[in-house]
Amino acid sequence: MGMKLVKVLTAIAPLLMAGCGEEVAQEEVGPFVAYCKDGQKKMEANYKYGKQDGLTTNWIRYGQKKSEHTWKDDKLIATEV
């Protein structure tokens, strides 16, 4: 994965939350879960010292998985769509 892809994904991450009416705040350590207004899970990510680390999963409506991304120290390692 190139650095350009990481920058693009970082830039569009807030857009993935559009339409849910939720503010996304980066957590310092541990899991972060964002929900839509209807209560469905929209995104689950893990942070370590303010950097994405581990698995990040995004869902579309009705609980269908949209994508999974694996991060290590804020660098994208793998993506599954």
| pLDDT, position 20 | 58
Confidence at 66, pLDDT banded by 50, 70, 90: very high
Domain total for the chain? 1
Residue-range definition of the domain harbouring residue 75: 3-80
**Start-end of H helices in the chain:** 3-16
Kindly report, residue by residue over 18-39, the tens digit of the pLDDT: 445 554 455 578 899 999 888 8
Q: Which of 13, 3, 11 is nearest to 44 (CA)?
A: 13
Name, in order, each residue with C-beta under 8 angstroms of 12's C-beta and a sequence gap of 6 or more.
none
| pLDDT, position 5 | 46
